[in-house]
A and B are shown apart, each in its own frame.
Chain A
Amino acid sequence: MNGKNASLESLAPIDPVRLEVIRNALLAGAEEMNLSIWRTARSTVVRETLDYSTALFDGNGNAVAQSTRIPVHLNSMSTCLEDILTNHIPLSQWNDGDIVMTNDPYCGAQHLPDFVLFKPVFENVDLQSQTETPKNANSAAGKDKSNSQSENRRCVAIAAAIVHHIDVSGGAAGSYFAGATEVFHEGLRIPPIKLFERGEENSAVTAIIRQNSREPVKISGDLQAQIAALTVGAIAVERLVTRYDSDTLMLAMQHILKQSEDAMRDTISDIPDGVYTFKDFVDDDGQDAKDMVIIANVTIKDDHCSVDLSESAEQTPGPVNCTLNMARSGVYCALLSVAEGRAMANSGAYRPIEVICKEGTIVNCTEPAPVANRMATGHRIVTTVLGALASAIPDKIPAAYYGVSYVAALSSPDRVEKDERRVYFEIEVGGWGAYPGGDGADGFSAGFHNLANSPVEMCESIFPVIFTEYGFIPDSGGDGKFRGGLGLAREWQLDEEWGVLSGNFDRFRHPPYGLHGGEPGSKGRFIHTRGDTVTELPSKISGLKLQRGDRVRLETSGGGGWGLAAERDQTLSEKDKRGGYRVMSKRKK
């Protein structure tokens, strides 16, 4: 990480006004890309749940400007690109019009449904070399276009987009196979390759992708939207090159990174020096592993923060493992949250943060460990790091939020074409942790992800489900001076001959923690009802066969409470009682 930023201290000065104007334009470019995907994608996971992110990078692979989307995506894209450039396709092999893609978690991606795409923006230096002495003008390498980088062109920036695709095969719908024990069970794996080469689509790749999806039309539609967004990002960069020239733009990007770095250093400096430790648990891996510990040792020294997660549990046979890339993303997300908008999220902000993870652990798994439900552990990394900081800055850190992406996927026949498969994929959220000064938000996206729900009417018009409830679970927030936010109940019944359900949940055994005497939030639950038979299921489910009329109910966890319940303001308690947010006189634990 540090190597490519070695020249930091010697940054040439830049006019602060021009810098700010360029910064705004880069952010607007990332937003244009965001908008482009939002409006054109096909699947509900993208179009309603908004599970995608966009960003603009500098020519060295540093994320500079990110759209306001999903932390887990955004803060892993730069390490993904770094992996590709270092280990797979060096920049010298990238050409104008290329799009490089991967979904391989062991090449920097997250899990198989997430496709990460990069498109470089090159500038011909020839135009400028009229005023400069061309270096290596007679170099043989300069003639070999496919292998040329430095002589007559340079990479000014890279546009990037990550999209969660609805299905890339594997053992369960949505490629969320809770029973996987190897990454090979989880679906189609694409190493870093060129999806486009010099503007030409590699149609063999898209054909393979279509053939390996339960939802071929949707995946190609979403991929098209993703590709279009990259073009939009590249145009935004080219506009800036035309307006300001590439030297200015590239210098500005270095300054933007430096601004974020400085802001993050300021944030860390405000935290008292010391070593802070916290631990939390992931329920299980759906196989035999249980109560996997995540331990964060956070060392604050001046303006530097080191997070050592090496004492965490061994990697598991089941798919709750995080790659190093994911673990880093979790740590960055926690620290950026502490900065609360002070540091613009980009690679500069990561510089003062060191992440140490022992290989072979659940926070740095090795091939071929399965990773589909990596968010069970990923969210826990965020809450563990925050938990450690709670003893350093107790007046700032909230109790734990629900802390998992509650992902369920239903595979069922199409209403008309019974041989085709429809994949209903949903991600739910729960309650926020109470913070020093107020109750946690009820049923609201927190922390490591940021997702919208799918409207019930939209789901019912596309998939064979009839909802019976979507609402808050009273009493589910942890008690305290300030209570945790409430979890959500989402319940539906199947309106089709058959369906197969997979569920990737957590926090069924280890509830979100409270702080300073606050109670933990409620645990999550998943209940299957057939006729009079009610079955409470574990947090990882695969291949659950449903019949017409079967009912499934997900209850997500509430957030932890903060401070002693005895100190709770009477008016807050009354408000809870009046609205029925609280119905029991004493909470069940």
Chain B
Amino acid sequence: MSVKQSLVNVRVAVDIGGTFTDLHLHDERSGKTWVWKTPSTPDDPSRGLINGLIGITKLAGIPLSDIDTILHGSTIATNAVLERKLPKCALITTDGFRDVLEIGRHMRRDVYTLKAERRPLLVPREYRFTVDERIKSDGTVLRELKPETITALGQQLLALGIETVAVVFLHGHLNPSHEKQTAAILSETAPAITVSTSFETSPEVREFERTSTTVLNALLKPVISKYLERVEERLKDAGVKAQLYLVQSNGGLASPKDAATLPVRLLLSGPAGGATAMASLARKHAINNLIGLDVGGTSSDISLVSDGNVDEAQESSIDGLPIRMPMIEIRTIGAGGGSIASVETGALRVGPQSAGAEPGPVCYGRGGTNITVTDANAVIGFINDEAFRTGDITLDVHAARQTLNEKLCQPLQLTETRAANGVLDIANSHMAGAIRLSLFEKGADPADFSLAPFGGAAGLHGCAVAEELGIQKIIFPAHASTLSALGILMADIRHDLSISKLLPAVPSSLPELQTVLSELTDQATAIQRDNGLTEKNSAINFSCDMRYRGQAFELTTPWPEADSVTSVDDACLQSVIRNFHRIHEERFTFTAINDPIEIVSIRARITGKLESKGDTTESDDQRSPTASIDPAATTKKLASAGVELTLNVISRKDFLNSEKDQAGPFLIQEEYTVLLIADGWFARPLAGGDIECIYRGAAT
């Protein structure tokens, strides 16, 4: 079954989060974009989705049936893993290697401790089975698979009530014949059980990482299939005839069929929308390098745009379990609005413990007893009730002040203002440190970047974090609280393929490289066909993961293209090698020109545009009517830096209409958040509702 692409007229992006379901609707006919927010329905997220679609089409004044494309981002896969709402899963692997999944890489994160940290385990030992077969590291078969053992195993799995199974054989990524055979036999003897093979899920060397990824895929298959069935049914019932796409961890879109086959690709898609929005923000304002800082309640997500592209990683993890596949690189740190400040042996610490959403900060009055970053912001006076109109929360600043005094001021002999500001300084230094580390991995300098803070709690920290990093320019994006949905609206269809093949980067490897590239091209063309993509609206790009012989980590190096034609010849190879040396120098401060280089994997990326005219980034923006800002408070008394300070407060709408530069310090009040334009910074409105902020030095 292939996806039919019609000319897209009405596209809706949906981002289902824990609390809210955010939507953006773009109508190509009128060129307009609408924004909508509705409470999420965690028991069945598809209900919230339908509510949102009804809401936003009403706002746009069009019938539901006009929607022809729905782009769906969610944390459904992530939550299923974190909350362990997962089916009964078995693992079939090579004899002698039953415990690879449980041993992991056996290194601990808590260095000094008397009891080991908890190690997550998703398939218990009794459901891990081994079979007699063996493939060698050159891909040849050492011991043949015996089909009858798989037939018997299939019966056993059925008897145990197993719903889904992962098949991972040693070196299975180099020679998938045994994994293929096993999957075929199982689908015959136990058709009720879904099968995930490692060569299809994550065809890359290192058995633990490949096993972990394949097992996660197996666990998610039934979860995502059931969810998608429910969504499609609800859409049908509601009279929506749109083509559905899902957002993957690489920021691209996948058809429901592809998502159900490789659901592990959805696993870290939560922050992907925000990162995609960063790329389009960068494009819109002609910024090459941009840091996205999404500060939430319990943690902060950092993403990077370098030279106009969102940075990607080949491996990440969830709850300590590695996932090996290309995805948007997000660094998550345990510093957010809920991070707890405490005094330990006379020292002031902030985080990594968090008060989370429950009980939350002291000032929420829901039983929180620890001072958090949000409490510090409340005590200073940065946030007040207006910022919280969405919940039933009335800020109890008095309680926050009292707790602050008792827990921090007295033991440290600090004034209230100093303590509250100190908590913020430390939280800011955590965020700045994490950003620097993210950049360091790439050999990049923060001074070459601009900062884009978004998410509920980022607006107050942006200026301080930027100063700490020596960053001169901040962009506060419009739609900060629904930015992820906006990013999704701009996503492309995207598929990643790879073939693991260890080859020396020398001309004599060219024939083998040619073979691998041809194979990838065939696979890629098939995917284009399945997704209704053509040469015109899609592209295939190749790259190699390379390293100096013996190194542990590979650098993904693009394969050169001339007029979008990929050829395999010595000139290309030399160009790839040059690129590799250059990237290595950038990231690691040295090159080893005379050392042999190896190619470890060859990758293909297929990107396809959804048929669409024009650019949705610049649009006549219609705001949702969910909240309006009370313009009554125009100044605010602050307890900042030891002196009483009165700051001007202006609503975002008024600021945008003012169309002129304004020097900090002042506050910009929005629907769900507040921006602090600090001393030394100059803010001005940009087209499309974004705000630019430039550092010109603090007045002394």
Binding site for B on A (CB under 8 A): 15-17, 19-21, 23-25, 28, 31-32, 35-36, 38-44, 46-48, 50, 68-69, 71, 217-218, 221, 224-225, 228, 231-232, 259, 262-263, 266, 333, 336-343, 345, 386, 396-398, 429, 432, 435, 437-438, 440-446, 450-453, 455-458, 460-462, 466-472, 485, 488, 491, 578-581
Stretch in contact with the other chain, from B108-116, B213-221, B308-316, B669-677: B108-116
Of A467, A468, A471, chain B has the most CB atoms within 10 Å of the CB of A471
Q: Write out the residue numbers on chain A whose beta carbons fall within 8 Å of the beta carbon of B116.
A: 432, 440-441, 444, 446, 485
Q: Are A231 and B589 in contact (CB under 8 A)?
A: yes
Cα A15 to Cα B347 in complex, Å, equals 10
| B561-611 interface with A by 8 A CB criterion | 587-590, 592, 595
B159 beta carbon closer than 8 Å to chain A? no
Q: Write out the residue numbers on chain A whose beta carbons fall within 8 Å of the beta carbon of B114.
A: 337-338, 340, 386, 396-398, 435
Q: B178-209 CB contact bits vs A (8 Å, 1 = yes)?
A: 00000000000000000000000000011111
B426 beta carbon closer than 8 Å to chain A? yes
B102 beta carbon closer than 8 Å to chain A? yes
Of A21, A231, A339, A466, chain B has the most CB atoms within 10 Å of the CB of A21
Q: Are A228 and B590 in contact (CB under 8 A)?
A: yes
Q: Write out the residue numbers on chain A whose beta carbons fall within 8 Å of the beta carbon of B430.
A: 24
One of B124, B170, B422 near A456 (C-beta < 8 A) = B170
Of B98, B345, B429, B440, chain A has the most CB atoms within 10 Å of the CB of B345
Ordered by A's residue number, 26 sampled pairs between the chains whose C-beta atoms are within 8 Å are A17-B348, A20-B422, A24-B429, A25-B429, A42-B549, A46-B552, A47-B553, A217-B549, A217-B595, A221-B551, A221-B595, A225-B588, A262-B345, A262-B346, A337-B112, A386-B114, A446-B108, A450-B107, A453-B105, A453-B106, A455-B208, A456-B100, A460-B136, A461-B137, A467-B96, A471-B96
B614 beta carbon closer than 8 Å to chain A? no
Cα A435 to Cα B115 in complex, Å, equals 7
Task: State the Cβ distance, A463 to closest chain B Cβ, in Å.
Answer: 9
Q: Write out the residue numbers on chain B whose beta carbons fall within 8 Å of the beta carbon of A24.
A: 426, 429-430, 433
Given contacts A35-B441, A340-B113, A579-B124, contact A25 B103 (CB under 8 A): no
Given contacts A452-B106, A455-B206, A472-B99, 11 further A-B contacts (CB under 8 A): A16-B414, A42-B549, A43-B550, A429-B106, A432-B116, A437-B115, A457-B205, A457-B207, A467-B97, A470-B103, A485-B116
Q: Are B126 and A460 in contact (CB under 8 A)?
A: no
Given contacts A17-B418, A259-B346, A444-B116, contact A218 B550 (CB under 8 A): yes
Residue of A nearest to B434 (CB): A28
Given contacts A17-B422, A17-B425, contact A342 B207 (CB under 8 A): no
Cα A462 to Cα B547 in complex, Å, equals 14
Q: Are A16 and B552 in contact (CB under 8 A)?
A: no
One of B109, B125, B205, B350 near A581 (C-beta < 8 A) = B125
Given contacts A340-B113, A467-B96, contact A47 B170 (CB under 8 A): no
Q: Write out the residue numbers on chain A whose beta carbons fall within 8 Å of the beta carbon of B209.
A: 455
B548 beta carbon closer than 8 Å to chain A? yes
Residue of B nearest to A222 (CB): B550
Q: Are B96 and A68 in contact (CB under 8 A)?
A: no
Given contacts A20-B347, A71-B112, A221-B550, contact A25 B418 (CB under 8 A): no
One of B99, B414, B433 near A470 (C-beta < 8 A) = B99
| B421-451 interface with A by 8 A CB criterion | 421-422, 425-426, 429-430, 433, 436-437, 440-441
Q: Write out the residue numbers on chain B whose beta carbons fall within 8 Å of the beta carbon of A40.
A: 551, 588, 590
Q: Are A21 and B112 in contact (CB under 8 A)?
A: no
Task: State the Cβ distance, A576 to closest chain B Cβ, in Å.
Answer: 10
Given contacts A32-B440, A442-B102, contact A42 B548 (CB under 8 A): yes
Q: Are A445 and B108 in contact (CB under 8 A)?
A: yes
Of B107, B110, B414, B437, chain A has the most CB atoms within 10 Å of the CB of B107
Q: Are A47 and B551 in contact (CB under 8 A)?
A: yes
Task: State the Cβ distance, B247 to closest chain A Cβ, in Å.
Answer: 29
Q: Are B552 and A47 in contact (CB under 8 A)?
A: yes
Q: Are B437 and A17 in contact (CB under 8 A)?
A: no
Q: Write out the residue numbers on chain B whose beta carbons fall within 8 Å of the beta carbon of A443.
A: 99, 102-103, 106
Q: Are A458 and B344 in contact (CB under 8 A)?
A: no
Q: Write out the residue numbers on chain B whose beta carbons fall within 8 Å of the beta carbon of A20.
A: 347-350, 422, 426, 429
One of B97, B105, B111 near A68 (C-beta < 8 A) = B111
Cα A514 to Cα B187 in complex, Å, equals 49
Q: Write out the residue numbers on chain B whose beta carbons fall within 8 Å of the beta carbon of A435.
A: 114-115
Q: Write out the residue numbers on chain A whose beta carbons fall within 8 Å of the beta carbon of B433.
A: 24-25, 28
Q: Are B112 and A340 in contact (CB under 8 A)?
A: yes
B142 beta carbon closer than 8 Å to chain A? yes
Given contacts A42-B548, A429-B106, A432-B116, contact A69 B553 (CB under 8 A): no
Q: Are A39 and B107 in contact (CB under 8 A)?
A: no
Q: Are B345 and A466 in contact (CB under 8 A)?
A: no
Q: Which 8 A-B pairs have the closest CB atoms?
A: A47-B552, A579-B125, A17-B422, A441-B116, A469-B96, A471-B99, A460-B137, A42-B550
Q: Are B112 and A457 in contact (CB under 8 A)?
A: no
Q: Are B110 and A341 in contact (CB under 8 A)?
A: yes
Q: Write out the residue numbers on chain B whose beta carbons fall within 8 Å of the beta carbon of A471.
A: 96-100, 103
Q: Write out the residue numbers on chain A whose beta carbons fall within 8 Å of the beta carbon of B551.
A: 40-42, 47, 221
Q: Are A342 and B344 in contact (CB under 8 A)?
A: yes
Task: State the Cβ distance, B405 to closest chain A Cβ, in Å.
Answer: 15
Cα A578 to Cα B126 in complex, Å, equals 6
B162 beta carbon closer than 8 Å to chain A? no
B72 beta carbon closer than 8 Å to chain A? no
Of A31, A221, A336, chain B has the most CB atoms within 10 Å of the CB of A221
Q: B514-558 CB contact bits vs A (8 Å, 1 = yes)?
A: 000000000000000000000000000000000011111100000
Q: Write out the residue numbers on chain B whose beta carbons fall within 8 Å of the beta carbon of A453.
A: 103, 105-106
| B311-362 interface with A by 8 A CB criterion | 344-350
B502 beta carbon closer than 8 Å to chain A? yes
Q: Write out the residue numbers on chain A whose beta carbons fall within 8 Å of the beta carbon of B441.
A: 35, 39
Cα A472 to Cα B437 in complex, Å, equals 36
Q: Write out the residue numbers on chain A whose beta carbons fall within 8 Å of the beta carbon of B429.
A: 20-21, 24-25
Q: Write out the residue numbers on chain B whose beta carbons fall within 8 Å of the beta carbon of A342.
A: 344-345
Q: Are A39 and B422 in contact (CB under 8 A)?
A: no
Cα A471 to Cα B99 in complex, Å, equals 5
B152 beta carbon closer than 8 Å to chain A? no
Given contacts A217-B595, A337-B112, A341-B112, contact A579 B126 (CB under 8 A): yes
Q: Write out the residue numbers on chain A whose beta carbons fall within 8 Å of the beta carbon of B553.
A: 38-39, 47
Given contacts A47-B552, A259-B345, A470-B97, contact A458 B109 (CB under 8 A): no
One of B102, B346, B418, B587 near A472 (C-beta < 8 A) = B102
Of B99, B126, B209, chain A has the most CB atoms within 10 Å of the CB of B99
Of B98, B440, B553, chain A has the most CB atoms within 10 Å of the CB of B440
Given contacts A224-B590, A445-B108, contact A16 B422 (CB under 8 A): yes
Residue of B nearest to A267 (CB): B345
Residue of B nearest to A433 (CB): B114
Task: State the Cβ distance, B498 to closest chain A Cβ, in Å.
Answer: 15
